[in-house]
Amino acid sequence: MSTTTPAVTTAESEAMGRALDLAAQGVRGANPLVGAVVLSGDGALLGEGHHRGAGTPHAEPAALADVRRRGGDPRGATVVVTLEPCNHTGRTGPCSEALIDAGVARVVYAAADVNGPAAGGAQRLRGAGVDCVGGLDADRSRRLNARWAAALAGARPFVTLKSAQSLDGRVAAVDGTSQWITGPQARADGHRIRSLADAVLVGTGTLLADDPRLTPRGAPAATPTPGKGLRVVMGRTAVPEDAAIRGPGFLHLPTRDVREVLDELFGRGVRHLLVEGGPRVASAFLREGVVDELFSYVAPLILGDGAPAFPDLGVGTLEAAARWALDDAGGPGIQQLGPDVRMHLRPPSTGP
């Protein structure tokens, strides 16, 4: 935790506030939320940018590109960024090098990078003669990425849970039919979320009931490469030979053990897992306390009896119920999609 306030100008301090707001416009998942603002030597805004999710440019190159788009020149500029610039080649190149190549004079960052392989950017910058200070608003940056950091520290993927339910919290009718509870706009949004994840998972119950494909349709599909584009079924029941889910990227994990699944997927390079249910598997992830964000789509229909979204959580009294909070990262916490409503939620007792 930072206890000292680094020596920064008022313009840099204000720019960090803006960079943190920009960071929160990114999407949660395999990467942290990061924003960046570029200032001229006299503190004027030259450009800004934020990271829009794994595989897209990091905040610093996005902000440098914005400077050039506006006809500016980043040479001699100050870059104010919410996370220590990365120092490794992941899905994109090292930001430390991009900043050095752009000729910036100074970098002010908030939190240090806790991702081992990516860390060391500040040292690299200083080594190249760039004035580099860290710790400004570090706590706010850390809060923004607390769940991402916790997943990383636990060596498990960041877990997004999605469910589409009726007004009375049912995800299927009594006979098991569930297609479709939500309308096309909500489902398109679900496909977009699939396209952001490295792997999409359901249980064998859903597999047998729905025969899903779990591909992101209407959104760019990830090429199945190590850790990307996986479509996963967990549970002991055999997957039928003619199941629609079979094909490139299909993986059956014949277990009910959530930790085993997370270990296996992490080992295969998965950093962002989307759990689509069904209800018993969703509850297993909730009971294990590993759900980092929840997208709950609510459709205006009442199903009465039928499968509850999250059975067997062992909540015996109101006091024991987990109260989730709306999460505004990547868009409004609550959003209307056609006739349906989408809630984007974060677990209880975690930061913004």
Ligand X SMILES: NC(=O)C1=CN([C@@H]2O[C@H](COP(=O)(O)OP(=O)(O)OC[C@H]3O[C@@H](n4cnc5c(N)ncnc54)[C@H](OP(=O)(O)O)[C@@H]3O)[C@@H](O)[C@H]2O)C=CC1
Confirm or reject binding of residue 176 to ligand X (CB under 6 A).
Answer: yes
Binding of ligand X by 171 (CB under 6 A): yes
In eight-state DSSP terms, residue 24 is T
Vertex 338: Cα angle to 336 and 341 (nearest 5): 35
202 binds ligand AOF (CB under 6 A): yes
DSSP secondary structure code for residue 293 in this structure: E
Q: How many residues bind ligand AOF (CB under 6 A)?
A: 18
**341 by DSSP, 3-state: which?**
strand
Question: Which residue type occupies 134?
Answer: G
| Angle 32-201-183 from CA coordinates, rounded to 5° | 90
> Does residue 190 bind ligand AOF (CB under 6 A)?
yes
Interface with ligand X, residue 68, by CB under 6 A: no
Given the residues 48, 60, 84, 293, the one annotated as active site: 60
Amino acid found at 343: M
213 binds, among ligand AOF, ligand X, none (CB under 5 to 8 A by kind): ligand AOF
> C-alpha angle 287/141/132, rounded to 5°?
145
Give the footprint of ligand AOF on residues 56-115 (CB under 6 A): none
- Single out the residue of 198, 186, 190 nearest to residue 231, CA to CA: 198
Size of the site for ligand X (CB under 6 A): 28
Q: How far is CA 145 from the centre of its chain?
A: 10
Site for ligand X in 292-331 (CB under 6 A): 307
Applying CB under 6 A, does 181 fall inside the site for ligand X?
Answer: yes
Binding status of residue 18 toward ligand X by CB under 6 A: no
Work out whether the CA dihedral 92, 95, 101, 103 comes out positive or negative.
positive
Residue 276 labeled ligand binder: yes
Residue 131 DSSP code:
E
b/e per residue 325-348 (b: at least 16 CB within 10 A): eebebbeeeeeebeebbbbbbbbe
> How far is residue 29's CA from residue 157's CA, in Å, rounded to a whole number?
9
- In the residue annotation, 14 being an active-site residue is answered as no
User: Among residues 227 and 277, whose Cβ is nearest to ligand X?
Assistant: 277
Letter for the amino acid at 33?
Answer: L
Residue with Cβ nearer ligand AOF (20 or 299):
299
Catalytic residue positions, numbered: 60
| Chain positions contacting ligand X, by CB under 6 A | 163-164, 171-172, 176, 178, 181, 202-206, 209-210, 234-237, 256, 258, 276-281, 284, 307
Residues marked as binding for substrate? 178, 194, 206, 214, 217, 276
- Chain residues that interact with ligand AOF, rule: CB under 6 A: 164, 178-182, 186-187, 190, 202, 206, 210, 212-214, 276-277, 297
**Which residues make up each annotated binding site?**
58, 86, 95, 164, 178, 180, 194, 206, 210, 214, 217, 276, 278-284
